[in-house]
Structure formats: C-alpha cells, structure tokens
Structure 1
Amino acid sequence: MAVKNAQLADLIATTLEDLPKQEIEIMWDHPEYEFSRIYQNERMEIESGTAISRRVMLDHTGAARYRRLYDTDEPTVNDVVQTITVPWVQIGTEYSWDRREILRNRQPAAFVDMVKTRRYDGLWSLANLIEERAWKTPTSASDDLYPYGVPYYLNMLNADTTGAGFSGQTIRYQDGSTGTSCAGLDASTFARWRNYAATYTQINANFIDTYRIAFLRTRFKAPINVQDPSSETANSKRIYTGFQAMSEIMRLADSKDDNHTGKDIMSNVRMNDDGLAMINRLPVVYPGEELDGVTDPVTGTTTDPIYTVDFAFFKPVVMADDWMHEEEPMTDRRQHTAYTIFLDGSHNNLCTNRRRAGFVMHKPIVT
C-alpha cells in the first residue's frame, strides 16, 4: 500500500518529539560556543514590540548646592532621560528530506538517525553563524540585517591613540566606515555613553597594571542613600581573546607561579572547562577563530583585542515565542516530494550601560 504524504508528515513530527527541543547541540567548530550557551541559558526575553528600547539617564540637572539661611531657590527641571533603541534581527535555518529518502529508511532506527543528521546539520550552521556575528560589528551604520556584536558596544580607542580611559566611542564597521552613534545615542555628544578602552603592546607587568585600573574604573555603584533603578543581575564577567593573547597570558601566569612542583611542564596553569587561565579570578576564554588575528576594518592594523564583558549590562535579548521556533514539516508544489522544517528566531544584543558593560584592551590602531 502506498504511503501518503500526510502519514510521512506525521512520522516526521512524531520523531521530532523524541529529539531534544530548543537547543543548539552541535559543538564541533568552536572550543567554546559562548553565545549559543548564553542565548539558551542567560537570555532576556521580551514579549513584543517593533524594537528593543530602554531608557538611560546619562547626566543630572545639577540642582544640589550648599546654601545660606533665607536663600531663594530657582528650581530647574531638565530632560535627563534618553532612549536607546536596538532593532530586532531575524535568524533562521532549515533542513529537508525527500519522500523517497524516508521510504528508504523505513526502519525506525535508520529514520531517526537520518532525522538527527539533517537537524544537526541545520543547527550546526545556526550555531556557527551566531558565534561569528557575536564578535563583529554590523556591515555599516544603516545595516539592520546583522546583530550588534561585542565590538559594537565595546569600542577601541581611535586610530593613532594610545592610553586608557572612557574614550571608546567610534564604531568601526565591517565595510571600513565608522560612526559614533550607538543604539541611537551619539557617543561624541554624550560622554557617559562611551566605554572604557586601553592599549597594550605586550602582555607583561604593565599589562596587568593597565588591566587592574580598567577593572577598578568600570566598577560603579549607586550612592548608599539611592536605590539603584537598574535591575539586579547575577550574571558573570568573562574575558575573551584570541589564541595568541591567550598563550601570552598563560606564559605570564606560568612565570608568576611560585609553587611549581612535580613534572608538569605547565606548572599550575590548568586547562579546564572554565578557562585556560584566570585574570583577577575571571576565566579567560578562547571563543574560537573569530578573535584570532583580528584586524581593524578601516586600517588593517592587527589589534589582538582582549574583551572583558559583564553580562549584567550586556544582555542578549530574544523575542518571546520567537526563539528557536520550529515549524511543522512543509511541502511545496514546486518540490512536492520534499519536506522542509524551518527553525527561526528574533534577537539582538542590548547594552544598557556602556561604562559598566566591560572594557576592551587592544594593540594601538595605526593609520
């Protein structure tokens, strides 16, 4: 008896119910699928809206003053609240079968293996794309196709500039253009909408001093008599860099090891699942080739960036009910024997406080 298309669709749907849902399982190309993990476990969900918006207060009116008896007041009210806006971007993948392939794999085990293989193929591609774009800026200031990666919010110092401070304000886009407007606010106008950045030339004692200062200067707390209006989040800080800087950090850690015992040539520097080395008790993570040999899109200078990211203020955001949404099997009259399943999502990355979201250390950009 012939097998009807409806029966095959039911077979696919039933098999998919037994597979892990809403997960990115493939971990083959990257040592750490950081953003795949973060989007699955630490994301922030928003119900709806045409874009992701938040209000930020970048300054105060300066109303406080010392006064004498019987002084007169001149109350002032200024608009100190600004709005940041981040667009939704859409991502998707798909996997397909032909009806004849299904018939050739009628045995349950063979069919399940085929479904898994095709699904893994689609999810692997999705995971790689998420990781790739997490470490890049969009193509240009007008680009609404790609998400806002870490370098979009944590900007390096301008070209031919060295030193350290809250001077990260220029976004260096992939097409070689630049801009200072970040999530709708111009960092050249609002000084408190700039991130901390510092340059280094070698990973040595001077690097450690610069890192310590950066860490201290990006720790802001509300006054004791003011309740912090920002949400409390227990997300961790992590450090990300490429293999070259990672190796140099490990070498520096090895040189500072005062308890080198036994025959292990790596002393007390351990390779584990949390990080290959630690700086200020934060794991240093090698996310993959995206941070290897990074060059400036404008000048081509090798920058070897080291990003410290605080995920309390750098927040991956997904649209509720539209993240890893898996459709039912579909057919099309142009390919009537083929079944396709689409998996889609809407997301982007939101930074609510660039002064607290972390910092970037990099080699100087030279024109």
Structure 2
Amino acid sequence: MRIKLLLLAAMTVLHLNALGQYETVVFNYDKSYFNEGRLLPAEQKFMVTGEIPRDVQIVELKIFQTDDINSRPVHSALWKRHPSNTRNTFTIPVNYSLRGNEKYTFLINYYKPASAKAQESLLSQLSETINGYVDQSFIIEKTEMTMRKHPRMMASDLNSIINEGLYFYRNRINFEYHGLSDIVLDKLYQIRTLNLKKARFNVFSKKDSDPENLKLRYAREQLEVLKELIHKEISQYANMNLLVVADSRKVSDYATEKTRNVLSVNLGYAGVYNEGNVDDFSSAGGLFAGVSLPLGKAAFTSPFWSKTSISVGVFIDNLEFSKNDIATGPIVDRPLYFGLGYKALPFIRLNAGMAVLQSPSAGSSFSDFDKVYLRPFVGLSLEFDLWIGLNK
C-alpha cells in the first residue's frame, strides 16, 4: 500500500511539473492587454487564454517583432473548436520563447462561419478580378496570341490575386491554399505557343465564315477555357466550410519581463601537458579559477550549444613540470588558459583548451611576449552562476 502511495505521489509531482512548463497568460478582449497589464513571460513556453462568443470556431494568434502586421510573424498558433465544445473560452499553447526585455506585437483573429452569401460574393469578386487580369494579359494579333508575361510569372500573379482575396478566410479543416495546379500552368504554356492559323481546324464554322473572325473566336475560346480551369480550382477550395475573420485585436509593442544575465564562475583542477610521448611525458596540474560564457541560451538554442561555453581564467599557482622547469604566465605572473567548456552535470563543467605559459625569467613587458608559449590542458570544475541584475 505504501509503495502505491509513493508511486501515486511521484506521478502527481511529474504531472504538476509538466503543467508547470506553461505559464498561463489571460488576454483581456475589452482592454486589449495581457494579465491585467503585467509583463509577458520570457524565455519559456506559455498559454494564451481568453473569452470568445460561442460561434467563434477558430482563434489565430500571430506574434511580430515589429508593429508591422503585414510582415512575416515570428510565430503563429491556432485554437480550433471541437464540435462538442460549447464553452466560451479558448486556450492556445505558444511553443515559442520570447526574449527578455523586448517588445512584441500580437494579432488575434477570431473566425466565424462564412455565410452562403459571403462565399458567393468572394467567388464573384475573385472571378471578376481574374477575368480582368487574364483579358489584359494577352494581345490577339492576326496569326498569333502574345502573352505580356512569361507563363510562370502569370501563374505567380494569379496566385497573388487569389491569396489576397482569401486573406481573411480559412476553412474548417485548416487546409491551406497552395496555389494553382500544373494543369493551369500547362494551359498557359499551350496558349503561349498557340497558332491562330489553325483556327479553321479547331472552331466549328460555316464555309463562308470570315477567317479573321474564326481566329478571334478561337483565341477567345482558349482564354475562356483558361478562366474556367482557374475558377474550378478556386471553387474547390472556397466550398470547404469557409470561415471568415469576424473580429480582430492588435496589441502593439507589448513588453516582456526582464531576464537575468548569468556569469558562470568556475573553480576546478586541470592537467597541462608539456612535452614527451605516451610512454615518457612531462605534465603538471593545478587549481584554476575562471569564467564561462555560454554559446547560447537554453530557450533559443539546442541543449548542446546552451551547455557549451567559451572559458577563460587563471591558474592559482605556477605549474611545476620539474624542479628546473617551472612555468608562469604573462600579465599576472600566473598561467592563463582559454578553451571550451561543456556542462556535463548541473554543477560540473568539463574544460579543454590551451594554457598560456611563460618562463619565470621573462618579464611582463611587451618585449618579453615572444617567450610566451601554449600547452594543451583538460580539466574539471565546479560551476556557480552569478546573476547580473535582479530584475525578473
């Protein structure tokens, strides 16, 4: 029985730790701020929650580093209502760490089902714009039809028109529009090489039909086929339970909390190789003290780089390789070192690099710096973090 209680307690602690990874941030719709105006959490994951009407189906959160919401967001996330969910709240996990003492702009979009009338209006506007673009993109001459742009540029322009028209829409299954298919692109290439001299073989006509009218009819028919292909592809997307932005809230230049800058102090022991081979070599060891500067913060880099550091410091005493071979160092008359460190355990750092040595007979003037030499070292140290600034 006691073992079961201990296991239950351990599972509860693990569950609470898992929940504790996300700090909850409450968005106030009326005031357009978070947590009653408090600073946002930095260098950790958090959840944004708030109130919504029951007909809101999707809430979209976008985070920008500047006040320009037309720029690319640094992060975006969605909340989608489950069919059985009738609550009037949303919760979005933000798996993106904000930097401390920075300002970010947030855009929160609320999507509701688009009415049948709104969807018809969307398709009508897109069709009108696309038809106008296609008509002005071709020049019909006597024997050929000339395109004002390359087919791929035309396809890119058409995709831009469609994306702009769909900017305030998304569908219920969160399927994104990925552009026109290769069928449309192939049709553009086909029209590019179209020879209007062959119109009489491709257009149904009477024997006395005017050849020029036949060419004009043939050219227009090909454009109509192109338009129809584009309209069908748009309709396939637009008929997939479209949702439209019914409301939006922008929160500009909202500040994050100030984070502590860390300076790691190392106290340890290292061995320095002097010379010789594996069977017969000279070395010395000694205590050292130094500092480590991590190559990245854990919230923004991989664990490897956040645990790796540039380490520099000084040996406490001179290094005695033998009675007649004692090494000191420049500037402070003690051996110096520089290298890389790796935090293997929370308070243990492995160090490796080069020791900066000098003969005791040399002085500390610049003229004696030619007598400085390097030797490899490895070491193990205890690490203590000093917090620079107490604002958190």
TM-score by length of 1: 0.18
Q: Greater relative contact order: 1 or 2 (C-alpha under 8 angstroms, separation 6 or more)?
A: 1
Identify the structure with the greater helix proportion. 2
Identify the structure with the greater strand proportion. 2
Pair member with larger Rg: 2
TM-score by length of 2: 0.17
